[in-house]
Structure 1
Amino acid sequence: MKPASLVVELRDQISRWWSARNTRERWIVGSGAVIAFVVLPYVWFWEPLVERAEGLRAEVTEQRRDLAWMRDAAQQIKAAGEGGAGATEPVTDGRSLLGLVDRSARHSGLNDQVSRVQPDGESSVRVWLDRAPFNDLVKWLDNLEGAGGVVVSDLTVERTGEEGLVDARLTLEVGS
């Protein structure tokens, strides 16, 4: 059979089937076809496009907020590096040390890895970090020592199963 004759035969079968339906059935089937013709493209095409666009808008908003924070942090770091008004004052007591540890961990990107901070006497704190990038940990400790006069009095570092990540337990003290 030729493709053209298949089309003609299919059309004839549909026509016979349609003719065999009463008026009410034709109305129901026709209405269903129109509704399907309108609803299905909406569900398959339009709605996913709108949802994706909304998701992208939310992502852009979040990225703009992150960019603003990064610019602000860069200015603070630059001011601290120049020894200007934004420079970190040396730590003189345990409360200042807790605040410095919290702020500096946040600025170093280690805030999510700090699992616990606990005062340890008048001028020291104990800090627990889980799955922290080793290089970031070393930079953070160097910044603490240089900017805030904080020294590491005790440090235990253990490997994790992932390359470059460590668990660390340390005690920080106000330098003398």
Structure 2
Amino acid sequence: MKRILNSLQAWWYQITPREQRLTVIGSVVLGFGLLYWTIYQPITLRAEQAKLALNNEKQLLSWVTDKADQIVELRGSGAKAISPLPLNQAVSSSARRFNVELVRVQPRGNEMQVWVQPLPFNQLVNWMDYMQANHAIDVLFLDIDKSPQAGMVEVKRLQLSKG
């Protein structure tokens, strides 16, 4: 280390005073540049990123709070009105709405057994969900089998009840 300092000192005394001033000024500018680009600039960049993240989190919190208020309000407004239609009318009208082809319908008191043509699985699920949500019709028993066509099911037995 001492050899390096001695060689630098020898070099320093060999250059002219003008070059010495230029070297000092260049070193100071280089020092400030290093401080700026290695310390100040990364800190300010991270501070800006933190501000953006904080704003995003505040917006998310506001959105979640609004949605929570809406949920509470909807829950407080009571249940959705259920259709007063009798079971057989509710099943047949909703089947028409969802393009479900009824083959046979057999009423049994407060229950009903239904046979339908093969249909897409999603269509069957949507139909049953609609009947439950809008007509309070529950599925008591469901026996399905896969159809040779992809995505299609054959309903062997579907027993419904209005509850």
Q: TM-score range by the shorter chain?
A: 0.3 to 0.5
TM-score (norm 1): 0.44
